[in-house]
Structure formats: structure tokens, C-alpha cells
Chain A
């Protein structure tokens, strides 16, 4: 199956969900149906299926397939947590549309079009950042997000268009190439809210529903970053230009985001800010991955992209569940939360394990590879072990949870299961085995009916238990993906093959960046460059290929 059914389901269900936004149950129901359909079609997606539409090929890959499956499943669980805990308006529809746009961007082999698609998907997030009827502050948050998306999208469109044509007669090759590379890398940093471009993201983390945060700050930007990775691999890396200054700037942004993102998450009182800043910290590794022009960066960066978006989605779901349970998202008011919601406490521990990991675990190794390839040794080691600082973030949240319960927690909901009505007593009055048999069958049918017509009320009564179950499911998924389950590592090595299939073992080539990790895509046309310093004086830097 090709990518088209996923896109059609996402477009129809996402739009329909937003069109009936006045009726929240219907809106959510349509979005859930759409996500279920996306899960099914993603599983059926062929890893090498291609289809040509309007002169452009839409191509699938193992990584895209896994992204679509994980995105749909995580989106479904996030919506279930939201329905159980808070039931925010518009968030389900925006999740469906955003995921659809991200899948479209990843299926487009032309980075110029892919960037436009990824930007269009990000715009859907403005709907939840500035909901109708919100305060003036929400409108300003929304317009800041819009501005960030427009600037990032414009930078990326210009950068990709600049390198998409024959560049044999360039006057000043290195500077403008470097600017194009820097523009796209900065665009990715802006989309992730990496430090120092984090102000808009911090406001969005404050204003947007917690359940939409993973889409706005992780899943959508991850697709954008994956497009950037492909573009750098087949348009920038083959140029063999060092770009030392530009790469140092981008590496600085990545390293600073990793460290300061964790510090910011540690000192925040608002749990959604904690989620936002941990995403910023994790995204620092993706930004670091953009500074390496070797095929060896391909697999670890794409592995980390999948791991971090799933893990942060689980953390966001946990925070939404806490907010729904106790009516506050301020850590200072959540004393004793773990006593009332032990399943969520278990989930927090699981998320911490999945996030931080250990040497030998897939997520840890991916981060270590990225840092080792992007940074010189002492700095690489520091950045590699920096996520251990996340223990302080999770420890602080957990420490608040084991303290004596505060007012908000005492007044909040518990995970303890309950049933809305007492079970009816059905005394056995029959005599003989036949009578008793009839009686038992009747009681069984009656009991079943009792359960069926009480289910809606039971779901309402056990909202927090259901939310906790969904969070635990997300945590399990995070642990599995972080440990290499679902064949993440193999999917991360896979490449999109467009046109004639080219035999390739993926990016597992060694040596200098003599080629790209995406052999099916055409590289920057008609130009080859010698490394700076190797060309004799007076000789032009660029030369046309025969």
C-alpha cells in the first residue's frame, strides 16, 4: 500500500474533526476514528511503495513507516489520555492534521516541497496555541508561534531552493553554501525551540494544551529535521566544504540546548514547561546531528528522533493526567501526587529510564554517537553524560509526589477503581440442576447487561484509572523504542529509494563524506568541489562534472 490512504484519512478526519469542533464528543470521536485508520494504513504501508502524483514521487521507507505507525499510536493514546483527563478542544483534530502533514513531508523526496508541507502542518498548531475565546495573551502566543513557523519555513525554503539547481558558475561558493546550510540548520533550531530560539516555544508550552505539545514541539519539528538531514546528506555533504564556522555555530546551539534545556526543566514549577524544556534539551542532539556531514550520522540521528518524540509524548501524557487528576499543573501544589496516583509514579520512573538509559542501550548509544561525531572529545563526553542530569528533573517531580498530600491532591481524583452502582444481589432460588442451570444463564445475561449499560458511567468514574493505563501504555512503548524494539535501528538505517532502485546497504559506508546516505536521491547537480585549501591559487573552486 502507498502513502496515499494515510494522507486521505488524515485530511478527511482531521478537517472533519475541526469542522464539528462545536460538538466536542463528535469532534473527538472523528479524530479517534481517523487515528485508528491511520494506524491500520500505516501498518499496511509498503516500505518501498512509491506513487507519482503531479510530477512528484511520494516514496515510503522503513523509517517513514515506523514514524507513521508510532505517530498514529502515540496520537491515539494521547487523545485517550486527554479525553480521560481534561478533554481539551481542538487538540485531537490538530494532532491528526499535524501527523498527516508530517507524513506527507517525509514522503516527498524533494526537500523544497517537503519543507513547505512540514511548515503547513506546523501551522495547524496555531489553532490550539491561540484558541478562540482565549485571553489576549493566548492570541499573542499564537502569533509568536506563527511568526516562528513563517521565519523557519522561509529560511528552509530559500536554502533548499538555492542548492537545488546547477551551481557550476558560482562567484563566491563557500560563503553562500555556508549561508544556505546555516539557514536550514537555524530553521530546524527555531522549529524545535532550541536555545536561544526558545522564547516562542516557552510561551506555546504555557498556552497550548499539554496533549498537543508533543505534536507542536516534537513530532512536527522532527519531520522538519528529518527533511533537513536528507537535504544536508545529498546536497551539502557531497560538496566537501568544511563549513567550520557555520558548523561551530550550529553545534553551539545544540550543545547549549542540551545543557540549559535540562537546567531550565529542573527549575520550572509548571509541569508543561518541564515537558517543553526537556523537549528542547533532547532536540539539542538532533541539532548536533545536523553538523556532521558523514553518512555515519544518518542512523543515530534518525534513531534518536524516533526515540525522543515517543518518550516526550509519554511525559506530556503523564503531565496531562496529573493535571486532570488534581486540577493543577504546578509542582508546588502537587505534594503527595504519587501516593494518590501510584501508576503514574511508576510511569514517571519508566519514562526516566527510557530517556536517560545506559551505555549499550539504543537511545544512549545514539546520543553518544551523535555527540562523538559532532563535537571534540572532552565536550562530546560532557554532552553525552549531560542527560543524566535529567535524574534531577524527574527526582524533583517524584520527591514532590512522595511528600504528605497537599490540598489539591487531597481534593483530586484517585486512580482507585470504582463502580458507579452496587452489584445487584441475585439469590439462587431454583431447585434441581435444570432450574439452577437456567437461573445461572439468566443471571449471567443479566449481569452482562448490568455491566454494559453501566460502562459509560464507569468510564466517567474511573477516568483517572483509564488515563493512567494509557500513560502506562505510552511508557511501555517508550521503553521498548528506547531499547531498540520495533526494529528502530534497522528502520533508521533505511533510505528512501526513488526512481530506479539502487543496490545499497544504506549509509553504512566508511571513510570521508564521498557520497550521500540517500543514494536514490539526486545530489546537488553538476558541481563538484575540492576541499578548501587544496585548490591552487587562482583556480575556481567549483568545476563542472564531465
Chain B
């Protein structure tokens, strides 16, 4: 049975996830993450008490604040911090998330009776689907961090959908986890920004060796390095077919 209030909160959570993975502007990404971190603990029935909610809200704001510190632009360095964003655009991300949400809603309980709301499992599947691309193919640290945060949030949401409502202590530990992952993403973002930008080289990826016909000639490399003077193309310089 669909609970409209929980469904609305789940939709807001998913929208926050879509914003987080699609935006190129880091502040928009962090806003999306903040929405996810604030809304996801509320997709539970009955709602947690005021103190656990306060702990989760405080943790979400603290994590977001740490993220802002990690990506804020340093005026003196002139480095503009821009994330690579989604390669397929927000509409496609939103559709993929919606499809995953439907799958999660339909498979509530994963084979057995789920003790939590189906909306939580729907949001969990959507966030996990959104996290997949940044985690697997992300090449900048903010995007990889966003994927990690969304994946952990998806796991916590799935737990809300499968099991009984969390205790206050569990909410407290989840708050610590939220702060921890926010801080960890902020640390790697700060380190990457200090090294020149959010995109960092993956040393484990081998460069493909271009075929000999397409490799730059020695003279072209020297010209690129500024050692050889430019000269008018002659017959001998013409490319061979």
C-alpha cells in the first residue's frame, strides 16, 4: 500500500540524488546530497523521535558543511572547481532512477515480507542505481565521493525497507557514518583541489598505444616541445597515405 507522505519524501530523496550526480557545479551537487541526507532518514514508519531526527539533521548539515569546505574555490589560486557531472544528462539519470525505484517498490522485501515501508526500498534502489555510474566510471574525486555516499545511503534505506524501524542508537551511529563519509569526501576533494583540480589521473589505467600510423612523428613532438622551428610544409612533410 502506497503511503503518499512517504512516497513524496522518497521522491524528494531521489530528486536530490539526481541533482547530486548530474550537476557540474559542486555547490549544486552538495545541495543534492544534503537533500538526500536530510530526507532519507524520514522514509520510515513510524517516524523517529525528535532527538534521533535532530541527530540526523545535524549530521547532514555538518557533512554538507565539510563538503562545502572541501570544494570551495580559492580566489588566490584561480582554480575553478568544476565536477565532470553526468555524461548522459539529468533527464536520463532521472529516468534510470525512476525505473530502479519502480523495481525496488515492486520487489519490496526481496523475497520475504518487508517490515519497513516499500517506499524506502524504492528510494534505496534508485540511489543505488544513481551511484553506480560515478562509482564505476567516475574520474573526479567529488563524483566518486558522491557515488560512495549515495551507495551507503542506499544501503541504509534498504535496511529501513527490510527491517523494523531503527533504534535511537542506530540513528546515532548512522549520523556518525554520515559525518564520516562527508568528511572523507571533503578530505579527498581538498587534496585533489590542492593538486590542481578534482580530476586526478588513474595510474592503474594503461594508456592505449596508438597505431604506428597515428603516432606523432619525432619532429612533431619537438615542435610541440618548442625545440624545432615552424616551417612551411614541403613535399617531404606531406602525410603519407
Partners in one complex: yes
A interface vs B, CB < 8 Å? 53-56, 101, 104, 108, 110, 112-113, 116-117, 119-121, 123-124, 126-127, 130-140, 142-143, 146-147, 149-151, 153-155, 157-158, 160-162, 164-173, 176, 199
> Which one, B9-17, B34-42, B89-97, B146-154, is touching chain A?
B146-154
Instruction: Assess whether A158 is in contact with B158, with CB atoms less than 8 Å apart.
Output: yes
Instruction: Assess whether A154 is in contact with B144, with CB atoms less than 8 Å apart.
Output: no
Q: Quick one: which of A135, A167, A170 contacts B195, CB cutoff 8 A?
A: A135
Dominant SS at the A interface? Answer: helix
B interface vs A, CB < 8 Å? 52, 110-115, 135, 141, 144-145, 147-149, 151-152, 154-156, 158-159, 162-164, 167-174, 176-177, 179-181, 183-185, 187-192, 194-196, 200-204
If A136-B192, A136-B201, A165-B162 touch, does A154 touch B170 (CB 8 Å cutoff)? no
Q: Quick one: which of A54, A134, A173 contacts B191, CB cutoff 8 A?
A: A134
Which residue of the partner chain A has the closest CB to B113? A169
CA of A199 to CA of B205 in the docked complex: distance in angstroms? Answer: 12
Instruction: Assess whether B196 is in contact with A136, with CB atoms less than 8 Å apart.
Output: yes
CA of A112 to CA of B163 in the docked complex: distance in angstroms? Answer: 10
Instruction: Assess whether B168 is in contact with A139, with CB atoms less than 8 Å apart.
Output: no
Looking at the assembled complex, report how far the CB atom of B79 sits from the nearest CB atom of chain A, in whole angstroms.
12
CA of A157 to CA of B183 in the docked complex: distance in angstroms? Answer: 20
Q: Quick one: which of A130, A138, A140, A150 contacts B148, CB cutoff 8 A?
A: A150
Instruction: Assess whether B111 is in contact with A176, with CB atoms less than 8 Å apart.
Output: yes
User: B172 — which chain A residues lie within 8 A by C-beta?
Assistant: 54
If A127-B184, A146-B188, A161-B158 touch, does A166 touch B113 (CB 8 Å cutoff)? yes
Q: Quick one: which of A123, A140, A164 contacts B180, CB cutoff 8 A?
A: A123
CA of A149 to CA of B148 in the docked complex: distance in angstroms? Answer: 8
5 intermolecular pairs with C-beta atoms under 8 Å apart: A139-B141, A139-B192, A143-B144, A157-B156, A164-B163
User: B170 — which chain A residues lie within 8 A by C-beta?
Assistant: 54, 56, 110, 112-113, 116
Instruction: Assess whether A130 is in contact with B173, with CB atoms less than 8 Å apart.
Output: no
Which residue of the partner chain A has the closest CB to B190? A132
User: B181 — which chain A residues lie within 8 A by C-beta?
Assistant: 120, 123, 146, 150
CA of A135 to CA of B191 in the docked complex: distance in angstroms? Answer: 7
Instruction: Assess whether B194 is in contact with A117, with CB atoms less than 8 Å apart.
Output: no
CA of A136 to CA of B201 in the docked complex: distance in angstroms? Answer: 7
CA of A392 to CA of B20 in the docked complex: distance in angstroms? Answer: 50
Instruction: Assess whether A54 is in contact with B167, with CB atoms less than 8 Å apart.
Output: yes
CA of A230 to CA of B23 in the docked complex: distance in angstroms? Answer: 42
Q: Quick one: which of B52, B115, B173 contacts A117, CB cutoff 8 A?
A: B173
CA of A130 to CA of B193 in the docked complex: distance in angstroms? Answer: 12
If A119-B152, A139-B200, A170-B111 touch, does A133 touch B188 (CB 8 Å cutoff)? no
Which residue of the partner chain A has the closest CB to B128? A154
Instruction: Assess whether A165 is in contact with B164, with CB atoms less than 8 Å apart.
Output: yes
Which residue of the partner chain B has the closest CB to A104? B173
User: B152 — which chain A residues lie within 8 A by C-beta?
Assistant: 119, 150, 153-154, 157
If A116-B170, A136-B201 touch, does A171 touch B196 (CB 8 Å cutoff)? no
B149, B181, B188, B196 pick with most chain A CB within 10 angstroms: B188
User: B111 — which chain A residues lie within 8 A by C-beta?
Assistant: 170-173, 176
User: A199 — which chain B residues lie within 8 A by C-beta?
Assistant: 204
Which residue of the partner chain B has the closest CB to A57? B169
Which residue of the partner chain A has the closest CB to B139? A140
Looking at the assembled complex, report how far the CB atom of A122 sits from the nearest CB atom of chain B, in whole angstroms.
8
If A112-B163, A142-B188, A150-B152 touch, does A54 touch B169 (CB 8 Å cutoff)? yes
CA of A513 to CA of B190 in the docked complex: distance in angstroms? Answer: 50
Instruction: Assess whether A176 is in contact with B110, with CB atoms less than 8 Å apart.
Output: yes
Which residue of the partner chain B has the closest CB to A161? B159
If A126-B188, A134-B194, A154-B152 touch, does A140 touch B202 (CB 8 Å cutoff)? yes
CA of A229 to CA of B147 in the docked complex: distance in angstroms? Answer: 28
Q: Quick one: which of B162, B176, B177, B179 contacts A161, CB cutoff 8 A?
A: B162
Q: Quick one: which of B167, B173, B187, B194 contacts A142, CB cutoff 8 A?
A: B187
Give 9 closest A-B pairs by Cβ, nearest first.
A54-B168, A54-B169, A55-B167, A56-B169, A150-B148, A139-B192, A136-B195, A161-B159, A123-B180
Instruction: Assess whether B141 is in contact with A140, with CB atoms less than 8 Å apart.
Output: yes
Instruction: Assess whether B169 is in contact with A53, with CB atoms less than 8 Å apart.
Output: yes
Instruction: Assess whether A132 is in contact with B194, with CB atoms less than 8 Å apart.
Output: yes
User: B191 — which chain A residues lie within 8 A by C-beta?
Assistant: 130-134, 138-139, 142
CA of A176 to CA of B163 in the docked complex: distance in angstroms? Answer: 16
Given contacts A140-B200, A170-B112, 4 further A-B contacts (CB under 8 A): A140-B203, A146-B184, A157-B158, A199-B204
Instruction: Assess whether B180 is in contact with A124, with CB atoms less than 8 Å apart.
Output: yes
If A55-B169, A147-B148 touch, does A133 touch B112 (CB 8 Å cutoff)? no
Which residue of the partner chain B has the closest CB to A124? B180
Instruction: Assess whether B169 is in contact with A143, with CB atoms less than 8 Å apart.
Output: no
A108, A155, A161, A162 pick with most chain B CB within 10 angstroms: A161
Which residue of the partner chain B has the closest CB to A151? B151
Instruction: Assess whether A154 is in contact with B195, with CB atoms less than 8 Å apart.
Output: no
Instruction: Assess whether B169 is in contact with A139, with CB atoms less than 8 Å apart.
Output: no
Which residue of the partner chain A has the closest CB to B193? A139
CA of A153 to CA of B170 in the docked complex: distance in angstroms? Answer: 15
User: B114 — which chain A residues lie within 8 A by C-beta?
Assistant: 165
User: A121 — which chain B residues lie within 8 A by C-beta?
Assistant: 180
CA of A165 to CA of B165 in the docked complex: distance in angstroms? Answer: 11
Instruction: Assess whether B187 is in contact with A126, with CB atoms less than 8 Å apart.
Output: yes
Which residue of the partner chain B has the closest CB to A154? B155
CA of A155 to CA of B179 in the docked complex: distance in angstroms? Answer: 20
CA of A140 to CA of B180 in the docked complex: distance in angstroms? Answer: 18
Looking at the assembled complex, report how far the CB atom of B13 sits from the nearest CB atom of chain A, in whole angstroms.
16
Which residue of the partner chain B has the closest CB to A171? B111
User: A170 — which chain B residues lie within 8 A by C-beta?
Assistant: 111-112
Looking at the assembled complex, report how far the CB atom of B66 sits from the nearest CB atom of chain A, in whole angstroms.
11
Instruction: Assess whether A136 is in contact with B200, with CB atoms less than 8 Å apart.
Output: yes
Looking at the assembled complex, report how far the CB atom of B81 sits from the nearest CB atom of chain A, in whole angstroms.
13
Which residue of the partner chain B has the closest CB to A164? B163
Q: Quick one: which of A135, A139, A160, A166 contacts B188, CB cutoff 8 A?
A: A139
Looking at the assembled complex, report how far the CB atom of B156 sits from the nearest CB atom of chain A, in whole angstroms.
6
